[in-house]
């Protein structure tokens, strides 16, 4: 293991490379979250679209 | 089958010569773009000589790219493409004929004009031959691979930029080896490896690209 | 006998069947992905030792390398699915290809940015024309071309087949491009002494790397299934089974 004692501040500091390392991990996190959330939103959108189409069809059948 | 090839080739050439004034456009573009660089960067021989292979090659690339439209667009719009696809002759052969015509009209002139541009960019005399040879091997590949892109985008409105986006990454290997050949020849060294690579890519493109183009046409242009 | 197998494949790959089965499969990919990913992160950030030459900055490798691998892997999957869709007319294959593209592009983008962030402390520049980064950039362009063609063509079937062909052409070209860029890079090595030297791989560094790579694949599997299900719902929206299903949602 590195050094004898683990310190959180040193961990976050990443030997001076904090910006680079944490930006990379941060971007990865953003990418993961985006790729999970975006399809879920898309799913809701598709479902509501199909529902609307069904309703429209039902209405037009009633009125015709 | 061979007859159909020559027939189509002759027809395309004839049609191109009817609008003669358009023929020179890619050529003029080629020279014009190369001319921009001394103006934009520096007219000094040291600078231009270093840039020369890359500048000439990229300009050639762009000229071919701009001219690719003529390959199928006109035929698509006036219905002759449909006729070609209905023909009993294999579409691959017909595609090859059209690409051949395209290269004769666009690529070959670039090869012939290259020495002039070599002069503009201070390419050493020993390298001019290599410049022409690399373009001779490379421009057919540009036409062949370009045809794939054109056939994929023929039915898309204003597909010009899309075409560039699709084709340019595929042009990169030819660009790298073509430009490098001229670079290396300028230093007086052997270009055997580069030429072999260009030749191999040409052979590969000749065998596979018309097939891919024919398949693409059937996908996008069948009505 | 082959007819039976073929019939089974066609039934199995029907969008309706796929929709039902994939719904059950997703957790089986998502949960291991999360568990493995978190463990890999722990191993990479806490257990793996500091590198002798690169200090702590090398830890970017645990994001950069799996991202690069995934961008290549997904492109292969895309091309193979597209090929299957093109040759055997299996709609599901086209949907998987289309669903995969954005994910692959994201991974390529991630690989590029993390590569750049790794390069800055090492060589003082955010971008260097390293062979791997350059190839990755070209791969990103190939992804963009695929997605651009897909959205440019209106008819869904034509769009799928055309971009599928493009993916196959791309796959054939990738080795050629890769080789050309490698070669080009060795020529100009003198100008930039930048090379993505992996730190000599201590086993404690290798393990999180491989674990992360596996986690990434599982993540991709889960996400592509979700996306593909959206494609199914959208493309088959006029079918009876979709209408019935949506009513209940």
Tell me: the pLDDT tens digits for C2-17?
A: 888 887 777 778 888 9
pLDDT of amino acid A5: 66
Residue the block writes with tokens 């999970």 = A36
Residue B88 clears pLDDT 60, i.e. is over it: yes
Mutate to test the interface with C, among B144, B177, B181, B220 (most CBs of C within 10 A): B220
User: Which of B148, B162, B172 is the closest to C138 by Cβ?
Assistant: B172
ipTM of the complex, rounded to two decimals: 0.91
Q: What would the mean pLDDT of C231-246 be, rounded to a whole number? A: 90
Nearest to A20 among C57, C226, C227 (CB): C57
pLDDT of residue C233 exceeding 70: yes
pLDDT on residue B135: 97
pLDDT at A3 over 70: no
Cβ distance C233 to A47 less than 8 Å, yes or no, reads yes
DSSP letter assigned to residue A3: S
Dihedral sign computed on CA atoms, order C174, C180, C186, C191: negative
SS (H, E, C) chain C: CHHHHHHHHHHHCCHHHHHHHHHHHHHHHHHHHHHHHHHHHHHHHHHCCCECCCEHHHHHHHHHHHHHHHHHHHHHHHHHHHHHHHHHCCHHHHHHHHHHHHHHHHHHHHHHHHHHHHHHHHHCCCCCCCHHHHHHHHHHHHHHHHHHHHHHCCCHHHHHHHHHHHHHHHHHHHHHHHHHHHHHHHHCCCCCCCCCCCCCCCHHHHHHHHHHHHHHHHHHHHHHHHHHHHHHHHHCCCCHHHHHHHHHC
Query: What pLDDT is stored for residue C196 in this prediction?
Result: 56
CB contacts, 8 Å: C47 with chain A: 1
For residues B70-83, average pLDDT: 90
C-beta atoms of A15 and C60 within 8 A: no
pLDDT (tens digit per residue) in B22-34: 888 999 999 999 9
**Whole-prediction pTM value?**
0.91
Chain A CA closest to residue C220 = A35
Is residue B203 predicted with pLDDT exceeding 80?
yes
C55–chain B nearest CA distance, Å: 36
B219 CB neighbours in chain C (<8 A) are 158, 161-162, 165
Chain A residue numbers with beta carbons less than 8 Å from the beta carbon of C107 are 31
Q: What is the pLDDT of residues C83-141, one digit of tens each?
A: 999 998 899 999 999 999 999 999 999 999 999 998 888 778 888 888 889 999 999 99
**What residues in C contact A40, CB-CB < 8 Å?**
226
Q: Does B50 touch chain C (CB under 8 A)?
A: no
Query: pLDDT per residue over B110-123, tens digit each?
Result: 999 999 999 999 99
* Distance to chain C for B173, nearest Cα, Å: 5
Res C195: pLDDT? 52
Residues C156, C94: contact at Cβ < 8 Å? Answer: no
**Is the pLDDT score of C197 beyond 60?**
no
Phi, psi of C8 (to 5 degrees): -65, -45
| pLDDT exceeds 50 at position B140 | yes
Across the interface, of B168, B201, B216, the residue whose CB is closest to C162 is B216
Average pLDDT over residues B14-28: 88
Cβ contact (<8 Å) for A24 and C242?
A: no
Residue contact A43–C59, C-beta within 8 A: no
| Gap from C230 CA to chain A (nearest CA, Å) | 6
Q: Is A32 on the interface with C (CB under 8 A)?
A: yes
Chain B residue nearest residue C174, CA to CA: B170
Residue of C nearest to A40 (CA): C226
**In this complex, do C110 and A43 lie within 8 Å of one another by their Cβ atoms?**
no
Half-sphere exposure of B103 (CA within 13 A, CB side): 22
Q: Do chains A and B touch (3 or more CB pairs under 8 A)?
A: no
pLDDT at A2 over 60: no
Kindly report the three-state secondary structure assignment for every residue of chain B: CHHHHHHHHHHHHHHHHHCHHHHCHHHHHHHHHHHHHHHHCCCCHHHHHHHHHHHHHHHHHHHHHHHHHHHCHHHHHHCHHHHHHHCCCCHHHHHHHHHHHHHHHHHHHHHHHHHHHHHHCCCCHHHHHHHHHHHHHHHHHHHHHHHHHHHHHCCCCCCHHHHHHHHHHHHHHHHHHHHHHHHHHHCCCCCHHHHHHHHHHHHHHHHHHHHHHHHHHHHHCCC
Which of B54, B161, B173, B174 should one mutate to test binding to chain C, selecting the residue with the greatest count of C CBs within 10 A? B173
Chains C and A touch (3+ CB pairs under 8 A): yes
pLDDT classification of C45: cutoffs 50, 70, 90 = confident
Q: Is the pLDDT of residue C40 over 90?
A: yes
Are the Cβ atoms of A46 and C103 closer than 8 angstroms? no
Residue C200 confidence (pLDDT) above 70:
no
Contacts C243 to A, Cβ<8 Å = 50, 54
Instruction: Tell me which chains share at least 3 CB pairs under 8 Å with chain C.
Output: A, B
**Is the pLDDT confidence value at C198 over 60?**
no
Question: Residue C193 has what pLDDT?
Answer: 47
């Amino acid at each position: 293991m590195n050094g004898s004692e683990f310190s959180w501040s040193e961990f976050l500091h990443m030997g001076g490379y904090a910006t680079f390392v944490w930006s990379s991990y941060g971007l990865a996190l953003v990418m993961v979250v985006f790729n999970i959330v975006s399809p879920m939103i898309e799913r809701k959108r598709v479902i509501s679209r199909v529902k609307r189409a069904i309703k429209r069809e039902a209405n037009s059948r009633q009125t015709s | 089958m061979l007859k159909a090839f020559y027939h189509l080739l002759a027809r395309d050439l004839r049609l191109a010569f009817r609008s003669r004034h358009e023929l020179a456009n890619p050529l003029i573009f080629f020279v014009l773009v190369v001319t921009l660089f001394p103006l934009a960067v520096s007219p000094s021989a040291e600078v231009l000589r270093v840039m020369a292979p890359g500048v000439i090659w990229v300009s050639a690339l762009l000229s071919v790219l701009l001219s690719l439209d003529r390959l199928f667009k006109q035929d698509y719009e006036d219905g002759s493409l449909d006729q070609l696809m209905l023909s009993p002759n294999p579409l691959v052969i017909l595609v090859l004929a059209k690409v051949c015509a395209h290269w004769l009209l666009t690529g070959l002139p670039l090869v012939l004009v290259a020495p002039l541009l070599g002069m503009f960019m201070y390419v050493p005399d020993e390298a001019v031959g290599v410049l022409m040879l690399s373009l001779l091997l490379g421009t057919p590949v540009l036409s062949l691979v370009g045809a794939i892109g054109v056939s994929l985008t023929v039915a898309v409105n204003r597909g010009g930029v899309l075409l560039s986006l699709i084709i340019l990454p595929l042009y990169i290997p030819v660009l790298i080896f073509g430009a490098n050949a001229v670079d290396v020849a300028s230093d007086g060294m052997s270009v055997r490896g580069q030429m072999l690579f260009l030749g191999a890519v040409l052979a590969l493109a000749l065998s596979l690209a018309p097939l891919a183009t024919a398949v693409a046409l059937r996908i996008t242009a069948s009505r | 006998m082959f007819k039976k197998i073929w019939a089974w494949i066609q039934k199995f790959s029907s969008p309706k069947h796929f929709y039902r089965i994939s719904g059950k499969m997703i957790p089986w990919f998502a949960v291991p992905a999360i568990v493995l990913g978190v463990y890999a992160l722990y191993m990479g950030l806490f257990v793996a030792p500091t590198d002798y030459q690169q200090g702590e900055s090398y830890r970017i490798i645990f994001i950069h390398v799996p991202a690069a691998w995934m961008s290549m892997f997904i492109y292969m999957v895309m091309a193979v699915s597209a090929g299957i869709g093109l040759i055997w007319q299996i709609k599901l294959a086209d949907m998987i290809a289309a669903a995969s593209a954005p994910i692959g592009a994201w991974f390529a983008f991630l690989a590029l940015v993390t590569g750049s962030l790794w390069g800055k402390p090492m060589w003082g520049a955010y971008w260097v024309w390293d062979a791997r980064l350059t190839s990755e950039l070209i791969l990103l362009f190939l992804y963009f071309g695929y997605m651009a063609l897909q959205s440019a063509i209106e008819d869904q079937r034509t769009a799928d087949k055309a971009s599928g062909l493009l993916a196959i052409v791309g796959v054939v070209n990738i080795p050629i491009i890769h080789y050309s860029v490698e070669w080009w890079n060795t020529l100009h090595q003198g100008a930039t002494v930048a090379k993505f030297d992996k730190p000599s791989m201590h086993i404690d560094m290798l393990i999180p790397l491989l674990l992360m790579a596996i986690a990434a694949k599982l993540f991709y599997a889960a996400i592509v299934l979700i996306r593909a299900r959206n494609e199914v719902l959208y493309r088959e929206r006029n079918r009876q089974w979709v209408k019935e299903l949506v009513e209940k949602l």
